């Protein structure tokens, strides 16, 4: 039982790490719909991982102690490593925003390029 609690504590710590990565991704997005989708997918991953570990270790019997252990691991991560990585995370997020903006400008340039139909006629009829 103590070993199972340790596993759930580590799972909570891992959840904190995934939440940190999700925060990095969400901060670099501007679209609210994409932010919602990223948060929703993160919660789905959390649920799948939690109940997979629950089934693997305890035959699916839900005990509050496992939930408390996972939550404690999450809180420990948030109070320690999450706070320590704030500046690097903000810098990476800023760089990702700039990268996404450059990609958007580049893709919008491709939308402005148009090939006129008369060129197609020349190509198609030149083979005769």
How confident is the model over 65-100, as pLDDT tens digits? Answer: 888 999 999 999 999 998 898 898 889 888 888 888
Domain encompassing residue 71: 2-125
Phi-psi label, residue 5: left if phi above 0, alpha if psi -120 to 50, beta otherwise: alpha
pLDDT (tens, 9 = 90+) of the chain, 128 residues, equals 788 889 999 999 999 999 988 888 888 888 888 889 999 999 999 999 988 888 888 877 778 888 899 999 999 999 999 889 889 888 988 888 888 888 878 877 776 655 555 555 555 555 55
Residue 119: CA atoms inside 13 Å, Cβ hemisphere, count? 3
pTM listed for this prediction: 0.68
Closest CA to 71 of 9, 18, 22: 9
Closest CA to 74 of 39, 52, 46: 46
Domain count, the chain: 1
* Mean pLDDT estimate for the chain: 83
């Amino acid at each position: 039982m103590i070993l199972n609690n340790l596993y759930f504590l580590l799972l909570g710590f891992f959840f904190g790490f995934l939440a940190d990565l999700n925060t990095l991704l969400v901060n670099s997005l501007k679209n609210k719909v994409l932010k919602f989708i990223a948060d929703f997918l993160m919660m789905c991953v959390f649920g799948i991982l939690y109940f997979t570990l629950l089934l693997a270790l305890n035959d699916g019997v839900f005990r509050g102690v496992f939930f408390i252990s996972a939550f404690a691991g999450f809180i420990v991560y948030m109070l320690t490593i999450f706070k320590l990585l704030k500046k690097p995370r903000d810098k990476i997020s800023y760089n990702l925003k700039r990268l996404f903006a450059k990609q958007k400008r580049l893709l919008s340039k491709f939308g402005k390029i148009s090939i006129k139909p008369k060129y197609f006629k020349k190509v198609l009829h030149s083979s005769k």
